Amino acid sequence: MYGWVGGKHACMDVTEVSPLVGLRVGPFTVGHTTIKSVSSKVAKHKKTCSDIQHAFMPFAFDTYGFSTLEVVNLLHRVQRVIHNNIMTPRSINVVFVRISFAIQTGLAAQLVVCLPFIHV
């Protein structure tokens, strides 16, 4: 993303996490797998992006709708830009509605694939 963080370009890593992964490891905590994934992505990519004078932004969310603070801030910023340039009642929350729909559609597709095939 050009000129995104303090005038620097930003590298972004988009990650969708299933909160059901690793349930046997410990008690279920909302957002735990997403935050763990962000930590792993930062450790993996931050130095490489910094070496080329870019900021690194992890964009992580889970299939239940949990998003990290970085994601929420980014989406609010995109939403403000859209609203300032389009100015319709629909532009007020279009970003969050579309992201939510995309997450739901992806989750539904994953669930349908797991269904047993029944011959009629």
Question: Quick count: other Cβ atoms within 10 Å of Cβ 43?
Answer: 9
Q: Which helix (H) or strand (E) holds 25?
A: none
Q: Do 17 and 60 touch, CB atoms closer than 8 A?
A: yes
Whether 3 maps to a domain, the answer reads no
Residue 4 falls inside a structural domain: no
Q: 2 lies in a domain?
A: no
pLDDT profile of the chain (120 residues), mean per 10: 77 81 65 85 91 88 80 81 71 70 73 69
- As for how many domains the chain has, the answer is 1
- Tell me which residue range forms the domain holding 23: 10-114
Tell me which residue has tokens 């609010």: 76
Dist. CA 76–CA 58, nearest whole Å = 15
- Does residue 119 sit within a domain? no
Specify the pTM. 0.62
**1 in a domain, yes or no?**
no
> Helix, strand, coil proportions of the chain in percent (round to 5)?
55, 15, 30
Residue 75 within a domain: yes
